[in-house]
Structure 1
């Protein structure tokens, strides 16, 4: 297909990485800067990740529409306009990435390129896991507003809230400082004293404020710059890792995004 509309940024990422033609439509406000080249210069705004502009899409008559995750609920409305595929996560991060890359590679006639890309990503992840085995304990947190939430390993439950929250542990092998965390969409709200009490060697931070560009919200660096956090091992050893907020919170999938995530962890522990 030459005319494709994407409502899933991870799929747009992989499609572009495999040499697919630029998307003719997408929720333009949600396309990250690093994926902008995957969208045509004259692309139309297809709506948001949660709501489709059905009139605009029908007028464009795309040959294929791709949804997933946040936009999966749009499937029923969109399939009446054009062939629509739901590439929502199924299984682990790696399983979903491999499945969706293989599928898009088949659509593009780029099966060999897709397999080579997956092999490369998997090899890099294994290299990172070998290194994280020796870094001690870690805690993955999300900063939203002026509050923090602790994220937990998925423990085999790869539903949306656990898949994203558990990436640091599940994919990259970081040893969690505690498993006593509740699963929640944005993690379990915790106090700064929680960080002091558990005192992980590494603190991995996803800055939701930066990811969604929340007006007036402070950056995670500012929120965590306080006396309690200063007393932690992670702060004292300069082992607070600020993850790319767009890659880890908005997209968290796709070939280029996976590379960004790998580099975030690898650079932090090297």
Structure 2
């Protein structure tokens, strides 16, 4: 009997040990899985134009609609599920990426495609800002982030704010800091090169016509007057912030005789393939009324990057400021 009891005890002990080991193994696997999950995802609190949002990082599915952000996201290797590829210049690699669902343009957007993308975060803004409420209703679980430059805020600070927040969302804080530093350096170069008292004119060229951009108006060249302390060559009462500039005569521009003319070629970004497209440089150089203007005579006409109208991110401004600083540094 003693032998039988000992045998039973041994069997029970072995079984208990096996269960214990299985339990430890299962618990260990669960702990490891939980640890992996917790280490691979987390939540960050970010501040955008509409308040504070909790964003799960890294986001598994991303939709982006703000043209100002495309170059940054592409440079950082962020994969997009959907975006308005029709609004992207060909300088952005996303434009030809067929794996990204094309949301179309802001005039006739395919917002239902955003639902199918099931995004964790939507980087919305600029031309798609008008659809904020629609997107919030369609995908209420997604973090809807908007970082458009705000009115009455310095342009450089707003560009850096956008880059900083995107860096927090996509784990690219060091890269964001580098972009911000490059912008600061380019701005300082312009400040160092600009001679106080030199007058500046900003224009946009569209449809072969030169439009006047008022100081501190609009979203591209207007804000540079305040940023750099440029002295306007011409100020027009009741000027607008129209994206094609205000319709004033070339003769009026010539009469103001600016020392510098800054130009945005609107059509270069959206109509360069059309037969009737004329580059801004040709329009300005062939304008008879501008022939004797100081800026033209001295080669002080500086053009923004060709894709500016559909690519107004921090890199675009940094590039333009460096170009402008180069030109100003060549003065006697």
TM class by smaller structure: 0.7 to 0.9
State the TM-score, normalizing by the size of structure 2. Answer: 0.71
In the alignment, does 2:189 pair up with 1:146?
Answer: no
What is the number of residues matched between the two proteins? 261
Residue 2 and residue 250 in structure 1: after superposition, are their counterparts in 2 closer, same or farther (change >3 A)? same
Q: Distance in 2 between matches of 1:251 and 1:173?
A: 25
**8 A contact 1:192–1:228 mirrored in 2:** yes
* C-alpha distance in structure 1 between counterparts of 2:108 and 2:188, whole Å: 38
Structure possessing the higher radius of gyration over alpha carbons? 2
What corresponds to 1:3 in structure 2? 61
Look up the match of 1:217. Answer: 277
Which residue of the partner structure matches residue 232 of structure 1?
Answer: 293
- Identify the residue that residue 104 of structure 2 maps to in structure 1: 47
Deviations 1:84-108 (A, max 9, x none): 2222221221121121111111112
Partners of 1:209 and 1:39 lie apart in 2 by 20
Separation in 1 of the partners of 2:96 and 2:177? Answer: 24
Q: Is 2:311 the counterpart of 1:251?
A: yes
1:157 alignment partner in structure 2? none
Q: Which residue of 1 aligns with 2:169?
A: 107
Deviation at 1:200, TM superposition (A): 0.5
1:164 counterpart SS class: coil
Separation (CA, whole Å) in 1 of partners of 2:178 and 2:280? 36
Q: Given the superposition, is the C-alpha separation of residues 39 and 23 from structure 1 closer, same or farther in structure 2, using an over 3 Å criterion?
A: farther
Out of 166, 172, 175, which is 2:231 matched to?
175
How far residue 223 of structure 1 moved from its aligned partner, in angstroms, is: 2.4
Aligned partner of 2:146 in structure 1 is 86
Task: Determine if contact 2:186/2:325 at 8 Å carries over to the other structure.
Answer: no
- Report the CA distance between 1:241 and its aligned residue: 1.8
**The residue matched to 1:163 in structure 2 has which SS?**
coil
Q: 1:263, 1:33 → 2: CA distance?
A: 22
Correspondence for 2:3: none
2:250 to 186, 192, 195: 192
In the TM superposition, 1:118-129 aligns within 5 A as 118-129=180-191
Is the contact between residue 233 and residue 256 of structure 2 (CA under 8 Å) also seen in structure 1? yes
Task: Provide the secondary structure at the position in 2 that maps to 1:14.
Answer: helix
User: Structure 1 pair 29/37, CA: closer, same or farther in 2 (3 Å)?
Assistant: closer
Partner of 2:220: 164
Cα distance in structure 2, aligned partners of 1:116 and 1:38: 25
Closer, same or farther: CA 240–127 of 1 in aligned 2, 3 Å: closer
Cα distance in structure 2, aligned partners of 1:20 and 1:55 = 25
Q: What is the alpha-carbon root mean square deviation over aligned residues?
A: 2.4
Instruction: Give yes or no for contact 1:8–1:66 (8 Å, CA) kept in 2.
Output: yes
Query: Given the superposition, is the C-alpha separation of residues 55 and 193 from structure 1 closer, same or farther in structure 2, using an over 3 Å criterion?
Result: same
1:15 paired residue among 73, 76, 88: 73
Aligned equivalents of 1:58 and 1:234: distance in 2? 51
Structure 2's unaligned 5+ residue stretches are 1-58
Distance change in 2, residues 1:242/1:135 (3 Å): farther
Greater RCO (CA < 8 Å, at least 6 residues apart): 1
Matches of 2:143 and 2:94 in 1, distance apart? 24
